Amino acid sequence: MVRPIAFLVGLGFAGILLYSLVMGAIAYVAEPPQPTAEHEFHLHPKEVSFSTDGPFGKFDLQQLQRGFQVYKEVCAACHSLHHVAFRDLKDLGFTDPEVKAIAKTWATEVPSINPETGEPATRKATPADKFPAPYANEVAGRAANNNAFPPDLSLMTKARHDGGAYVYSLLTGYQANQPAELLKKFPDSKTGAGLHYNPYFANLNIAMPPPIVAEGQVSYADGTKPTVDQMSKDVAAFLIWTAEPKLQKRHEIGLAVIIFLLMATTLAYLSYRNIWAGIKH
């Protein structure tokens, strides 16, 4: 008796689901959703390549050092790197003395406790410290940025679709004016005060002003020409590293595993042929 009841219950649920799907389809056809400015004018990230692309991708340490310089001189004033420690910079090719120097000269001091009084204090950063936040808290961050809190960049390229390409496109995608077609079709979508039009941002209007605005905004020690395009690509590559610093190691391990599996498969097949060679079917 239980099975027929269970069958009827299941049949009832299936009927309800089918009815909901049919009614939803009818409603969609009768009154389709209205197009939005975001849907029509939001652009997919630009085509850009990084040295880490593909299963054999590797980090370009020189580019990562340039990207770190762009982050330090341009982005660090507003954006934090909560998940990165100064000592991690050794993976980019910096020496121990260079890492110590970078940590010591960092603009923001690290919160600490005075061992003698137990009172809150600050001190210069050490290689073991994480990159300190530029603001004491979210309230301070919003107050300094027209109520828009700058997000942490540690995992940005993992949190956004197309990762590094998204960051690169966003940095190079600012436009001084909205397209006339957009304003004609969606007059209510005009960029408001304190916002900036960027078709690579989800809702087209972003609170962050263009951070990289002119050639030579930073001076590269390796002689690379610091164009807006180059600086944007370098800092995007750096953020790919902060989000997945072991990416190159994973690629190397994956390649070794594939080679091992191919060899093991070949040996297994040869063993099979040898064992069954003299047996007739």
3-state SS, 27-95, equals: HHHHCCCCCCHHHHHCCCCCCCCCCCCCCCCCCCHHHHHHHHHHHHHHHCCCCCCCCCEHHHHHHHCCC
What CATH number is given for 52-97+135-174+210-244 in this structure? Answer: 1.10.760.10
pLDDT (tens digit per residue) in 203-253: 899 999 999 999 999 999 999 999 999 999 999 999 999 999 998 888 888
pLDDT of residue 272: 85
Is the confidence at residue 16, as pLDDT, over 80? no
pLDDT of residue 171: 97
State mean pLDDT over 51-63. 92
pLDDT of residue 28: 54
Residue 110 and residue 122 in contact, taking contact as beta carbons nearer than 8 Å = yes
Write down the pTM of the prediction: 0.81
pLDDT of residue 2: 46
Is the confidence at residue 57, as pLDDT, over 70? yes
Q: What is the C-alpha separation between 84 and 53, in angstroms, rounded?
A: 22
* Residue 149, token pair as written in the block: 């809190």
Report which of residues 108 and 159 the model is more confident about. Answer: 159
* Residue 81, token pair as written in the block: 């790197």
Domains of the chain, by residue range, sit at 52-97+135-174+210-244, 246-281
pLDDT of residue 218: 96
Is the confidence at residue 8, as pLDDT, over 80? no
